[in-house]
Protein backbone atom coordinates (compact mmCIF):
# COMPACT_ATOMS: atom_id res chain seq x y z
CA UNK A 1 0.00 0.00 0.00
CA UNK A 2 1.49 3.32 -1.11
CA UNK A 3 1.38 6.47 1.04
CA UNK A 4 -1.44 8.92 0.36
CA UNK A 5 0.58 11.84 1.78
CA UNK A 6 1.29 14.33 -1.07
CA UNK A 7 4.89 14.58 -2.24
CA UNK A 8 3.87 17.68 -4.26
CA UNK A 9 1.08 20.14 -3.57
CA UNK A 10 0.14 23.39 -5.29
CA UNK A 11 -2.79 25.77 -5.07
CA UNK A 12 -3.23 28.47 -7.70
CA UNK A 13 -5.67 31.33 -7.77
CA UNK A 14 -6.82 32.97 -10.95
CA UNK A 15 -4.68 35.94 -11.96
CA UNK A 16 -5.72 39.29 -10.47
CA UNK A 17 -5.25 40.74 -13.97
CA UNK A 18 -7.79 38.29 -15.38
CA UNK A 19 -10.26 39.11 -12.61
CA UNK A 20 -9.65 42.86 -13.11
CA UNK A 21 -10.12 42.63 -16.87
CA UNK A 22 -13.37 40.74 -16.36
CA UNK A 23 -14.59 43.36 -13.89
CA UNK A 24 -13.72 46.15 -16.36
CA UNK A 25 -16.24 44.60 -18.74
CA UNK A 26 -18.88 43.46 -16.23
CA UNK A 27 -19.10 46.59 -14.03
CA UNK A 28 -20.07 49.06 -16.81
CA UNK A 29 -22.58 46.60 -18.27
CA UNK A 30 -24.08 46.08 -14.81
CA UNK A 31 -24.24 49.83 -14.17
CA UNK A 32 -25.99 50.40 -17.51
CA UNK A 33 -28.47 47.61 -16.79
CA UNK A 34 -29.15 49.00 -13.30
CA UNK A 35 -29.52 52.56 -14.60
CA UNK A 36 -31.90 51.41 -17.32
CA UNK A 37 -34.04 49.49 -14.86
CA UNK A 38 -34.03 52.28 -12.24
CA UNK A 39 -34.88 54.99 -14.77
CA UNK A 40 -38.02 53.02 -15.64
CA UNK A 41 -39.46 54.22 -12.32
CA UNK A 42 -40.74 50.88 -11.05
CA UNK A 43 -39.34 49.80 -7.67
CA UNK A 44 -39.44 46.16 -8.83
CA UNK A 45 -37.30 47.07 -11.85
CA UNK A 46 -34.94 49.06 -9.61
CA UNK A 47 -34.35 46.03 -7.39
CA UNK A 48 -33.85 43.81 -10.44
CA UNK A 49 -31.44 46.35 -11.92
CA UNK A 50 -29.36 46.53 -8.76
CA UNK A 51 -29.21 42.72 -8.56
CA UNK A 52 -28.17 42.54 -12.22
CA UNK A 53 -25.36 44.98 -11.43
CA UNK A 54 -24.17 43.51 -8.12
CA UNK A 55 -24.51 39.72 -8.44
CA UNK A 56 -22.02 39.25 -11.31
CA UNK A 57 -19.47 41.38 -9.46
CA UNK A 58 -19.88 39.31 -6.31
CA UNK A 59 -19.60 36.11 -8.36
CA UNK A 60 -16.39 37.22 -10.09
CA UNK A 61 -14.78 38.36 -6.85
CA UNK A 62 -15.75 35.10 -5.16
CA UNK A 63 -13.97 33.21 -7.95
CA UNK A 64 -10.78 35.01 -7.04
CA UNK A 65 -11.18 34.47 -3.31
CA UNK A 66 -12.37 30.84 -3.13
CA UNK A 67 -11.91 29.15 -6.49
CA UNK A 68 -8.41 27.64 -6.72
CA UNK A 69 -6.78 25.00 -8.85
CA UNK A 70 -5.59 22.34 -6.42
CA UNK A 71 -2.95 19.83 -7.51
CA UNK A 72 -1.49 17.05 -5.37
CA UNK A 73 0.81 14.19 -6.29
CA UNK A 74 1.05 11.20 -3.95
CA UNK A 75 3.20 8.12 -4.33
CA UNK A 76 0.61 6.55 -6.62
CA UNK A 77 -1.69 9.21 -8.08
CA UNK A 78 -2.30 12.80 -9.15
CA UNK A 79 -5.38 14.63 -7.87
CA UNK A 80 -6.24 17.84 -9.69
CA UNK A 81 -9.31 20.05 -9.81
CA UNK A 82 -11.29 22.98 -8.49
CA UNK A 83 -13.44 23.19 -5.33
CA UNK A 84 -17.09 22.29 -5.85
CA UNK A 85 -16.31 20.14 -8.93
CA UNK A 86 -15.18 16.51 -8.74
CA UNK A 87 -11.40 16.22 -8.82
CA UNK A 88 -9.70 14.14 -11.48
CA UNK A 89 -7.60 11.30 -10.15
CA UNK A 90 -4.90 9.89 -12.40
CA UNK A 91 -3.02 6.80 -11.26
CA UNK A 92 0.68 7.20 -12.01
CA UNK A 93 0.72 3.72 -13.54
CA UNK A 94 -1.80 5.00 -16.11
CA UNK A 95 0.61 7.64 -17.50
CA UNK A 96 2.40 6.78 -20.74
CA UNK A 97 4.44 10.02 -21.05
CA UNK A 98 4.83 13.29 -19.16
CA UNK A 99 6.63 16.52 -20.05
CA UNK A 100 6.75 20.22 -19.23
CA UNK A 101 5.24 22.33 -21.99
CA UNK A 102 4.17 25.87 -22.75
CA UNK A 103 0.71 26.80 -24.00
CA UNK A 104 -1.46 29.80 -24.86
CA UNK A 105 -4.58 29.75 -22.63
CA UNK A 106 -6.89 31.63 -25.00
CA UNK A 107 -5.63 30.28 -28.31
CA UNK A 108 -5.09 26.66 -27.28
CA UNK A 109 -7.95 26.14 -24.82
CA UNK A 110 -10.28 29.15 -25.02
CA UNK A 111 -9.43 30.49 -21.58
CA UNK A 112 -8.81 29.39 -18.02
CA UNK A 113 -10.38 26.86 -15.69
CA UNK A 114 -11.34 23.31 -16.64
CA UNK A 115 -11.28 23.22 -20.44
CA UNK A 116 -11.91 20.50 -23.00
CA UNK A 117 -10.53 20.86 -26.51
CA UNK A 118 -8.89 19.24 -29.49
CA UNK A 119 -5.52 19.19 -27.69
CA UNK A 120 -6.93 17.48 -24.60
CA UNK A 121 -8.25 18.39 -21.16
CA UNK A 122 -6.72 21.42 -19.44
CA UNK A 123 -6.74 22.37 -15.78
CA UNK A 124 -5.35 25.89 -15.41
CA UNK A 125 -5.78 29.03 -13.35
CA UNK A 126 -2.94 31.27 -14.51
CA UNK A 127 0.31 31.29 -16.42
CA UNK A 128 1.35 29.57 -19.62
CA UNK A 129 3.22 26.47 -18.45
CA UNK A 130 1.92 23.01 -17.73
CA UNK A 131 2.77 19.36 -17.44
CA UNK A 132 1.35 17.46 -20.39
CA UNK A 133 0.35 13.88 -19.65
CA UNK A 134 -0.47 11.24 -22.24
CA UNK A 135 -2.38 8.44 -20.59
CA UNK A 136 -2.36 4.76 -21.53
CA UNK A 137 -5.76 5.13 -23.25
CA UNK A 138 -4.38 7.97 -25.42
CA UNK A 139 -6.15 10.77 -23.51
CA UNK A 140 -4.11 13.95 -23.05
CA UNK A 141 -4.31 15.98 -19.82
CA UNK A 142 -2.58 19.29 -19.19
CA UNK A 143 -2.05 20.45 -15.61
CA UNK A 144 -1.18 24.14 -15.42
CA UNK A 145 1.45 24.95 -12.81
CA UNK A 146 3.61 27.77 -11.54
CA UNK A 147 6.19 25.05 -10.71
CA UNK A 148 5.92 22.61 -13.62
CA UNK A 149 9.44 21.21 -13.23
CA UNK A 150 8.75 20.24 -9.60
CA UNK A 151 5.38 18.78 -10.58
CA UNK A 152 7.02 16.70 -13.34
CA UNK A 153 9.75 15.57 -10.93
CA UNK A 154 7.16 14.36 -8.40
CA UNK A 155 5.27 12.49 -11.14
CA UNK A 156 8.45 10.94 -12.54
CA UNK A 157 9.64 9.88 -9.09
CA UNK A 158 6.31 8.20 -8.36
CA UNK A 159 6.27 6.47 -11.74
CA UNK A 160 9.83 5.17 -11.22
CA UNK A 161 8.95 3.81 -7.77
CA UNK A 162 5.80 2.20 -9.22
CA UNK A 163 7.79 0.50 -12.01
CA UNK A 164 10.39 -0.81 -9.52
CA UNK A 165 7.79 -2.05 -7.03
pLDDT in tens, 22-44: 778 777 877 777 777 677 666 67
pLDDT in tens, 63-79: 777 789 999 999 999 99
How many Cα neighbours within 13 Å face the side chain of 49? 17
CA distance 80 to 101: 17
> pTM of the prediction?
0.77
CA distance 76 to 157: 10
Backbone φ and ψ of 63, nearest 5°: -60, -45
Amino acid sequence: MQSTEPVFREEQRFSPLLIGATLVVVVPVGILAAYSAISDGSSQNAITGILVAVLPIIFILSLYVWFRLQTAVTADEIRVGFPIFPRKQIHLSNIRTSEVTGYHPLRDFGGWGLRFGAKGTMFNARGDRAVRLVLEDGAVVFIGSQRPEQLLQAISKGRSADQRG
